[in-house]
Structure 1
Amino acid sequence: MSDLPKDITPGNAITLRSISASLALIVTTLSIGVACIFALSATLTQSRISSLAIEGVSLSIWKLDAVRQQWVTIRDQQRQQSNALGNAEIRRAETSGQKTAAESQYDVTRDELVSLLEQFNFRARPFDPDLSAAISGQSPAEQMGRIEAADETPRTHSELVPYLTKLRDIYSKFVSALAERTFKRAADAAVVNQISNLKFALEGSKASLDALFGTIKSNIDETSRSKIESALYELQPTAGWFSRLHNKLITAQPDVLTLCLVILMGLLGSALQITHAFFVENRIDKPGSYFLRICVGAITALVIFIVAKAGVPVIADASKFGGEAPINPYFVSFIAIISGLMSENAIASVQERGGEVLRGGFGSRAVAVG
């Protein structure tokens, strides 16, 4: 023990090793468990989607995934258009109220201006009949223009000066109200035009979506369409990395996905066996031994699965794997975990059954030759 640091005793070294090994086992087991959850979830989703049929015709999961890519684009476009339409409707209510207020202010200032112009016309008639006749019946702007362009003498008459001062003040307010009304009308018309364009765009997106579903089946009914949309949501419900990873697993080849599930469950079984031996039996092995046992668990699970698929009863009911019948992911997971947990027993069982098969095969062959 002379190679240990002075502050670390043999007992402390064993404790540190135990803590490190326990942490490594816990992290490894949890990581494998999470991977098993991913694989099992993808297998179940793939089985559920593969069983989807429209009028007796099964849908390919890869065709559905190709449709999903276009469907997601159109759906995002529709969502953006719907959000924009909602915001435009809110702005439409605001601009409509502002336009109404501007119209009201314009009417008030215009009526006040028209009233003052009539009073000015009445007062100016004795002093300048021609100006009075010229402004009669004209628009407020035309009347103010002719009044300002008239000779200086009638406009500076002491009786007309107060009216002219008020006219200029009210006319200034009238011009501002007119400009505000014009601006609010234009803003409201722009929002109305935007709403019309967005509604037209939404109709176009809806037509594109109908055409996309038409590639699966022409004149598809609402029930079948709802089933397909539910499957599309399952293929990629969100835009996050987890959803993208799940989609890659779901669209994998069924046999590859099943074998991955078997191996992962075998790894999980071995990890549980090692963890149980470590924490319950206080057995600490070398890292290489742990690695070997985990690998043996994975290979054992794979071998048991292949043997069961071959129809040789070992620790599984071969009838549940035989032929082209769909595989139950739960049963596969159960067998794989058992194979990992009892890898030594499983190997012995396979060896025994293999010997029986080989002996039976050779015996039959000898009889045939004889």
Structure 2
Amino acid sequence: MGTKSTSAKSAFGAAFIVMWFVLLFVVTIVVATVTLSASQLQGRLMAFSRAEIPLTVWQVERLRKQLTAQQDGITAQSAKVEGLRSQRDQAEEALREVQLRIAASIDRYDASRDELVAKLRLYVPLTFPDNVIGLDEQDLRAKIERAIDDLTNELRAPTKKAVDDLHGIYLSDLREKNENLQAAREADAEVVNVRRALEREGLLLAEKEKKIGSVIDPDGTMKPGDVTRIYDLISEFAFIERFALGTLYKFAILPSEFLSIVLVVAMGILGSTVQLTYEYYRDGGVGKSSHFLIRPMLGAITAIVVFVLLKAGVLVVTDSAKLGEAAPLNPFFIAFVGIVSGLLSENALETVRGVGQTWLRGGTVEQRPRWASGVKSHLSETKTVADLSGKTGIDKESLEKWIEQEAPVPADVQKLFAVWLDKDIRTLFTDIPPQPAT
């Protein structure tokens, strides 16, 4: 009974550990991948900035939002212009239809007018001239009305009916002609108004299309290749904002220092997970469950501690001049630091402990000669060797030997360098001698 219970617990523990490993690997790999991608994007922006075009992720994001707003405005304006064009075409078509109706109504009016006048001329020949086309329409209509009134009592009933019928057709055709003329004037005014609105909105569209180019290059001094690269970056930002629920986008716009810490923590956990996996398969069992839960946290904490020491210049793994703010660490190097710190947490802690003991040993580190590994990078036009020699009385030849790391710097001179450059003495000097030139 006890054996079965032990076997069940062992199986459950193994299943739990496997699930725990899967969770750790998935989470840390996803975070590390996203963080590395975001760091590389920021690195490309920094490289672009070195081409004398200051650019950051936030500037690219602002440019993207400005371009999006401009493009939305252009899209809306284009839709408005297209609507006006369609309205213009419809108005012009309506005007053509009215003009056709006018021509037909004028022909009918002329025919009915001539027929009525010819009929009335039989009875009152002196009232109407031979050609009535040149007469004013209002005068002609008044003449016709008077003539019909005068003949009302003189005409026989059949003749009177014929005249009245012709008169009715004449009035109907006249009214239709005038209505069509009014409709033509209104249609023509509509066409004119739509054309003017179309011209005005077209100018606004052209102005907006011209302004969109000034968002990237307001002075018009950038090279076409640089403008294209910025457009590519903006397009990339638009893509990553939609990719994976915007996770990569949110990481990409994080401050680079915070991004580095997230990467270090993720890689520290990943390194510890690799070590745990190795131990699990090497030992063929679970061991202490707490070890599998606490070790990833230890890896994360150790990775942060080692990273802080690297940034502070206490641990020197490369040229110390490249560890300052002017040249951030390579994200892949940061990932390497995190993985190694998590994988070898015990070794990393021993190294940190040794550095701390040395540093806190009553200042003895500063009492021995050390190499000026970081002095030369801080010299400038206002901080020269000649200036230091004049202020301290130390000969220029000795100062140059120390700065070029041809000889270690005495402890008292180390303090002079630190005060003169206004820098922490730990960032200027190291116990590690320079490698000989090859």
Deviation at 1:78, TM superposition (A): 2.1
Structure with bigger RCO (C-alpha 8 Å, 6+ apart)? 1
Aligned-partner Cα distance in 2 for 1:13–1:40: 40
Residue of structure 1 in register with 2:399 after alignment = none
Q: Which of 62, 65, 80 is matched with 1:84 structurally?
A: 80
Asked whether the 8 Å contact 1:114–1:140 carries over to 2, the reply is no
2:115 corresponds to which of 110, 116, 119: 119
Quote how far apart the aligned CAs of 1:262 are.
Answer: 2.5
Partner in structure 2 of residue 98 of structure 1? 94
Q: Distance in 1 between matches of 2:241 and 2:118?
A: 76
Partner of residue 103, structure 2: 107
Change (3 A) 1:81 1:355: same
Shift of 1:141: 7.6
Distance 1:293 1:182, change over 3 A: farther
TM-score of the two chains, using structure 2 as the length reference = 0.60
C-alpha distance in 2 between matches for 1:33 and 1:150 = 106
Deviation at 1:81, TM superposition (A): 1.3
CA contact (8 A) 1:301 1:335 kept: yes
Q: Distance in 2 between matches of 1:169 and 1:278?
A: 106
Structure 1 distance, partners of 2:173, 2:287, is 99
Residue aligning to 1:190: 193
Distance between the aligned counterparts of 2:128 and 2:240, measured in 1? 76
- 3-state DSSP class of the match of 2:344? helix
For residues 186 and 11 of structure 2, what CA distance do their matches in structure 1 show? 81
Amino acid at match of 1:184: A
Deviation at 1:194, TM superposition (A): 2.3
Pairing of 1:11-160 with structure 2 (within 5 A): 30=26, 33-53=29-49, 56-129=52-125, 132-133=128-129, 136-138=133-135, 147=144, 151-152=148-149, 157-160=160-163
Indicate the RMSD between aligned Cα atoms, in angstroms.
5.0
Picking from 177, 182, 200, the partner of 1:174 is 177
Partner AA of 2:266 in structure 1: L
For residue 293 of structure 1, report the CA deviation from its aligned partner: 3.8
2: CA distance, partners of 1:19 / 1:141: 107
Counterpart Cα distance in 1 of 2:139 and 2:19 = 92
Distance 1:365 1:295, change over 3 A: closer
Counterpart residue identity of residue 81, structure 2: L
2:245 & 2:211 partners in 1: Cα distance?
A: 25
Would you say the 8 A contact 1:237–1:243 is kept in 2? no
For the structure 1 residues 201 and 23, does the alpha-carbon distance in structure 2 shift closer, same or farther, using more than 3 Å as the test? farther
Pick the aligned partner of 2:298 from 296, 299, 305.
296
Spell out the pairing of 1:225-264 with structure 2 (5 A cutoff): 225-236=227-238, 249-264=251-266
Identity among equivalent pairs (%): 17
Q: Deviations over 1:288-337 (max 9, x none)?
A: 76653443333243345445654858xxx75697565454434544554x
Q: 1:21: how far off?
A: 8.4
Residue type matched to 2:107 in 1? D
Whether 1:350 aligns to 2:348 is yes
- Distance verdict in 2 for CA 1:262–1:358, change over 3 Å: closer
Structure index of larger Rg: 2
Change (3 A) 1:21 1:148: farther
Unaligned ranges ≥5, structure 2: 153-158, 370-438
Q: Distance in 1 between matches of 2:81 and 2:69?
A: 18
Partner Cα distance (1:253, 1:125) in 2:
100
* Amino acid of the structure 1 residue aligned with 2:134: G
Displacement after TM superposition at 1:84 (Å): 1.9
CA distance in 2, matches of 1:176, 1:274: 95
- Give the drift of 1:59: 3.3
- Deviation string 1:171-214 (CA, Å, 9 cap, x unpaired) is 45434533543443343333322221212212433454455556
The residue type paired with residue 36 of structure 2 is L
Moved more, 299-308 or 240-249: 240-249
Any conservation in 2 of the 1:113–1:140 contact (CA below 8 Å)?
no
2:73 match: secondary structure: helix
TM-score normalized by structure 1? Answer: 0.68
